[in-house]
Amino acid sequence: MTNLEKVDAFFKKQSQWKEKLQQLREIMLKTELKEKLKWGKPTYTLNGKLIVGMAEFKNHIALWFHQGVFLKDPHHKLINAQEGVTKALRQWRIEPDDTIDSKIVLEYVEEAIANSKAGKEVKPVRGKSVVIPEILKNAFENDATLKANFQKLTPGKQREYSQYIAEAKREATQQSRLQKSIPMIKKGVGLHDKYKNC
């Protein structure tokens, strides 16, 4: 199956959001962006860089601007879906009763393209060390499987769990967060994976 066939298949299988997603697709195809399927969702790239993507959820469609932090947002459409976690990504939520104004969507997409051409980009910070909180270290001493699975995670995922547990002010909250994290660590998933893969 070609990439175009995969993207077409995504749009054909839609039910609740079919019309709105198709409308957004038509806007994207008016630009110089290349369409492809990434993470099972339509994404639009320029010179191999992700510019915008779309995804359907139960209550809304999300337009993801990968370097959306640089957009001026004159119509106040953008949100940071994961405050404190997401640095560059910004989301525009379209709900069932919203009307899609092609002109405004195109304005945002064209600005995102111009920003990419200008080299505006938040680069991920690499090489940060992982500071493991005491409560998690103690859990490793009592559970070798937990420790082994934690060590298999990427440094970014290790940091997410460590910060999540350590940021709790009360010991009881730290303990609660640890208990919530243990099964996820043992499954080898990151704390925020369910949001990243939607």
**Alpha carbon distance 158, 140 (integer Å):** 13
**Local structure of 122: helix, strand or coil:** coil
Beta-strand runs (E) in the chain: 34-38, 41-46, 49-56, 61-65, 78-79, 90-94
Output the pLDDT for position 127. Answer: 62
Output the pLDDT for position 198. Answer: 41
Write out residues in the chain with pLDDT < 70, as ranges: 125-128, 194-198
* Cβ neighbours around 30 below 10 Å, total: 11
Structural tokens at position 145: 């499987």
* CB-CB contact of 40 with 31 (8 Å): no
Output the pLDDT for position 83. Answer: 74
pTM score: 0.63
CA 6 to mean position of chain CA atoms: 21
What are the chain's domains? 3-117 (3.90.1150.200), 134-196 (no CATH)
Q: Please, what is the average pLDDT of the chain?
A: 89
Beta-strand runs (E) in 57-176: 61-65, 78-79, 90-94
Residue with tokens 């379209």: 94
Element holding 180 (H helix, E strand): helix 171-187
* CB-CB contact of 159 with 188 (8 Å): no
Buried/exposed 100-112: b ≥16 CB within 10 Å, e otherwise:
beeeebeebbebb
Output the pLDDT for position 7. Answer: 83
**Alpha carbon distance 179, 181 (integer Å):** 5
